[in-house]
Homo-oligomer: A and B are copies of this chain.
Amino acid sequence: MDHDRAHDPLVRDVIRMTFELTGRLRAHMDGVAASLDLTPMQARALFVSHQPVPMGLLAESLHCDASNVTGIVDRLEERGLMERVVDPDDRRRKNLVLTAAGRRGSEQLKDRLRADNPILSLDGPELEVLHGLLLQVLSADVPPEMPRRTHPSPQI
């Protein structure tokens, strides 16, 4: 018999706190992005593009529709940080490759992200514990699909 965890005060508290921390981490990331004159989405795209990645996969990583990635990559390409390279094995597919400037930018982004990160208020052993918990959540969880508002059930 499984106790109903939805009414567990601990669950409520942890969800409220993850909401708060998620907001702060995002603000921290956006601040770092701004310091490099990147928009939040441009920075996230740079962050996850270590090796060549097709547009569709980037859309998944960014949790947004594929049609949005066109514009985001357009602006990164105009700025000389990324290039679209047609995949020779499947000419429909375009792989995104960082330029030298893109790699430098990505490194700076990550350096600055590490420099002042809120989670660094934890010491080594605590980070180890957090690492274990994150590993468990990430491997157990199936990444959610992109949010859709097609058939909402409002009731409010």
Residues of A within 8 A of B (CB): 5-6, 10-15, 17-31, 33-37, 40, 44, 47, 61-63, 81, 101, 104-105, 108, 110-111, 113-115, 117-122, 124, 126-131, 133-138, 140-141, 143-149, 152-156
Contacts and interface: CB of A to CB of B under 8 A. Distances in A.
Nearest to A11: B114
Nearest to A61: B23
A144 B23 CA distance: 10
A1 B25 CA distance: 28
B17 A120 contact: no
A144 to B, nearest CB: 5
26 contacts: A5-B120, A6-B114, A6-B115, A10-B124, A11-B114, A11-B117, A14-B131, A15-B110, A15-B113, A17-B134, A19-B29, A20-B138, A21-B137, A21-B138, A23-B63, A27-B145, A34-B152, A35-B153, A37-B152, A101-B156, A108-B156, A118-B137, A118-B140, A126-B133, A126-B136, A130-B133
